[in-house]
Amino acid sequence: MTQPLEPTLTTFQNPMSRYFAATRPAFITASLMAALLGLAVAWHATLDFDVTLAVVTVLFALLAHAGVNVLNDYYDALNGTDAQNVERIFPFTGGSRFIQNGVLTLVQTRNFGFALLAGVALAGLWLMSRSAPQLLYVGLVGLFIGWAYSATPFKLNSRGWGELCVTAGILSITVGTYFVQSKHYDVAPFVAGLSYALLTMNLLYINQFPDRTADTAAGKLHWVARLDVRHARWGYVLIVALAYLWLLLSVALAWLPLLALSALLALPLSVKPARSLLRHAAQPQLLGDAIKQTIAAMMVHGALLSLALILSKGST
């Protein structure tokens, strides 16, 4: 696999493109799909659908993810993780490299990250005024998870809670997007979003194999760092199994429409990277294609599930 060139100040002379790229927009598509899934659940439930609110909610979710990405770079620069990561697979692991390569300073990155979260807070207040005050609950949960994932004193990923943080963060987007349309909380977006959230968790999980040595040295003791590589690699398989078992159970219990089984078509896209990880877990430089396939698996799964909900509008 040919690895893209890392960012430099020469390639990002335009400040707008520099700050946009620093948000790692390719990864933000995970939140885009989570938001679209929440909208699909709302549409499926035959709710009155407000297109303006839908657009703002999606932008709100993307802005939140962008802020989390930037702050994660900042805190990983503070603890030295990214600086000492020589096994990274850019652009997937090892951070954005904007700080390490002198494209943005540490202070610029910090200020940009918190400015993005301030924008999220303002957008959240507007959405609350158009929806219901209870939106504050899921908004605060999402922001706390995004910040505490890397920031002291919590450093949740370093304590082995990173995978759960990703799952909860993605679910908060699906649940929150549904809430804006419905103005109430419901179990439906949780049921629909969990399998997608688990597959998103797997992106974090596989990314941690190339980062394992640097993370361990910096004290980021997530489960890939805590476990022996031979055992840690099976975590990916377990997460895939949980995601699709949940999908099957949800359809069997009529929590999701029968057409939701079409999301099973994404399963082969998870099987291929699982096999690669089982084979090359101790050779993380060979996992670039497996990481791409993991992204494809989660996005195709989310898209198929969303389409199934849209096409099954009004059915149980």
- Model confidence pLDDT, tens digit, residues 189-205: 999 999 999 999 999 99
Residue 156: phi, psi to the nearest 5? Answer: -60, -35
What share of the chain has pLDDT > 90, as a percent?
95
Give the confidence band of 41 by pLDDT, cuts at 50, 70, 90.
very high
Which sequence spans correspond to the domains of the chain? 23-311
pTM reported for the whole predicted model: 0.95
Is a pLDDT exceeding 70 seen at residue 47?
yes
End-to-end alpha carbon distance in the chain: 45
pLDDT tens per residue, range 297-316: 999 999 999 999 999 986 65
Among positive and negative, which fits the CA dihedral 227, 228, 229, 231? negative
Hey, CA dihedral for 7, 147, 174, 296, is it positive or negative? positive
DSSP string, 287-307: -HHHHHHHHHHHHHHHHHHHH
pLDDT of residue 271: 98
**How does the average pLDDT of the chain come out, rounded?**
95
122: pLDDT strictly greater than 80: yes
DSSP 106: H
pLDDT at 3: 66
Question: Would you say 114 and 73 are in contact if contact means Cβ atoms under 8 Å apart?
Answer: no
pLDDT in tens, 67-105: 999 999 999 999 999 999 999 999 999 999 999 999 999
What's the pLDDT at 313? 86
Q: Which range (52-56, 233-237, 301-305) has the least confidence?
A: 52-56
Task: Decide which of 108 and 49 is more confident.
Answer: 108
Written as one string, the DSSP assignment of 44-81 is HTT----HHHHHHHHHHHHHHHHHHHHHHHHHHHHTTT
What is the model's pLDDT at position 48?
Answer: 81
